[in-house]
Amino acid sequence: MDKKQIGVLAIVSASVMWAIEPIFAKLAYANASVVQTSAFRAIFVTIVALIYALSTNGKDIKINKREFSVIFYIAVVGTLIADLLFYFALTKISVLNAVLIGHLQPIFIILIGYFVLKDEKHSKYDYAGIFVMIIGALLVTTQTLQNLLILRIGTMGDLFVVGATVSWATTGIVARKYLNNMNCGIITFYRFLIAAVFFSIYLLFRSEFHFGSVNQIIIGIIVGVGYILYYEGLKRVKAAQAGALELSTPFFAAILGFLVLGEIVTSMQIAGIVILCVGVYLLSKKE
């Protein structure tokens, strides 16, 4: 496989991990709060990332001040703010809607990347794939023809996920621009270590630092593997391609949401997911 194909495979594999994540998050809420779940998630992601960093980069996991400042931004905006918004939204809306909106990053990545990543040029397949994905996303989000006709696109929970999506898009751009040559295990390790420290301090201050269930461990492992795959893919494909490829996540989220949580998927959402798959195909074509 060439460099782009490996990158596409890594991003899609990460998408599978992120489709599984919200399922276990909702299960974890039976024994823990949103912040507690986020905190232990960050702790176990840190452990997974450290193991990967040590196994692929030796014992050298030091970073300089400039790299730390970049990762600190990613940790605060991408994990403390965006992830927390996403996890809170999961208490209000379905897994499918949360996952789909949460992965509509190409729109924001293209807008931001136009000014930041001036060296990236996109082919006709990139634009066609992203356009097709946006159409599919609209069908999944509106759920029914009646909602689509009156433009009933979402709820307040959906809006929270939009905020998370914009935040994630900025961190993807920053990682692409400043950390492209850094070991992905090191990036993930410091990103979630910083977040874990903030979450832990908050919970200790409120005397709520309690472990809820094994689901929190599973979430940490899933997210750790997902982020490592994502960063490995991000090194091999364009930022907009990486963001758009993540839209394969709703396909897996719809199936898991139905099988595990009993969430109903409408015929329009199924059509939207099929269209998303067409978009993934267009985006993965070689220029």
Closest CA to 113 of 287, 239, 231, 243: 239
Return mean pLDDT, the chain. Answer: 80
- Dihedral in degrees, nearest 10, Cα atoms 220, 223, 228, 231: -140
Q: Please say whether the beta carbons of 235 and 7 come within 8 A.
A: yes
Write out 217-238 in H/E/C secondary structure.
HHHHHHHHHHHHHHHHHHCCCC
Q: Three-state SS for 144?
A: coil
Between 185 and 152, the more confident residue is 185
Asked whether the predicted pLDDT for residue 183 surpasses 90, the reply is: no
Q: CA-based Rg of the chain, rounded to a whole angstrom?
A: 18
151 three-class SS = coil
Structure token digits, residue 91: 């208490």
Q: What is the pLDDT of residue 92?
A: 86
pLDDT in tens, 214-250: 888 899 999 889 888 887 887 787 766 666 676 667 7
Residue 137's pLDDT band (cuts 50, 70, 90) = low
More confident residue, 111 or 14: 14
Residue 287 is predicted with a pLDDT of 46
Instruction: Write b or e for each residue in 212-222: b if 16 or more Cβ atoms lie within 10 A of its Cβ, otherwise e.
Output: ebebbbbbbbb
Q: Which of these, 227, 249, 216, lies nearest to 96 by C-alpha position?
A: 249
The distance from CA 273 to its chain's CA centroid, rounded to whole angstroms, is 17
Domain boundaries, the chain: 3-284
Q: What does each C-alpha distance from 57 to 38, 180, 184, 186 come to in angstroms?
A: 27, 15, 10, 9
Sequence length of the chain is 287
pTM of the model: 0.78
The pair phi, psi for residue 47, each rounded to 5°, is -65, -45
Joined together, the tokens standing for residue 34 give 């949103």
Average pLDDT over residues 76-101: 87
C-alpha–C-alpha distance, residues 46 and 44, integer Å? 5
